Amino acid sequence: MNKILFLSNTANFSKFNRPYMRWFRERGWRVDYCSAGEERVEDCDNQYAIPIARSPFSLRNVRAYRQLKRLLIENQYDILHCHTPMGGVIGRLAARRLRAQGKIRVIYTAHGFHFYKGAPLVNWLLYYPMERWLARFTDVIVTINEEDYERARKSF
């Protein structure tokens, strides 16, 4: 049986993913969801609670990284689909060794990059280099607007 894990720092993103989660389940996949666990997630087989902090400077994310890495190894997912900025960072880092071994594919849906035309310089200095580096641990980047699509296509 194929397995996919959807990941976000908040369970609220599961509402965005529900049609995709249903699609996978209808095709016989096991669909799991990982978030802070603050609400019940519909249309998944297993729900895991790993609290990912929104702040990139929170030490809580070190613990979340270790928990997610263990979850990925134990469940041997075929696909990891990451959402939210910190979910994308922690997910891609936690999966990088498995991905390098060809054991998992990694998708990141960017719901709007923090670096965009007119964004503060600090956003460009902090988030752009990080996203560019993380792109090497990503099989697919999904964007939701034209500006992000063009930036991802040209830079990542």
Q: If we measure between CA atoms, which residue out of 69, 71, 67, 22 comes closest to residue 42?
A: 22
Find where tokens 């389940």 sit: 25
Q: How far is CA 87 from CA 7, 9, 22, 39, 53, in A?
A: 6, 5, 21, 17, 9
Find where tokens 């310089």 sit: 121
Sequential pLDDT tens for the chain (156 residues): 999 999 998 888 788 899 999 999 999 999 999 999 888 998 999 999 998 998 888 999 999 999 999 999 999 999 999 998 899 999 999 999 999 999 999 999 998 888 889 988 988 898 899 999 999 999 999 999 999 899 999 988
Q: What is the pLDDT of residues 34-48, one digit of tens each?
A: 999 888 998 999 999
C-alpha 74/C-alpha 84 separation (Å) is 23
Which residues are CB-neighbours of 70 under 8 A, at least 6 positions away? none
Prediction pTM value: 0.93
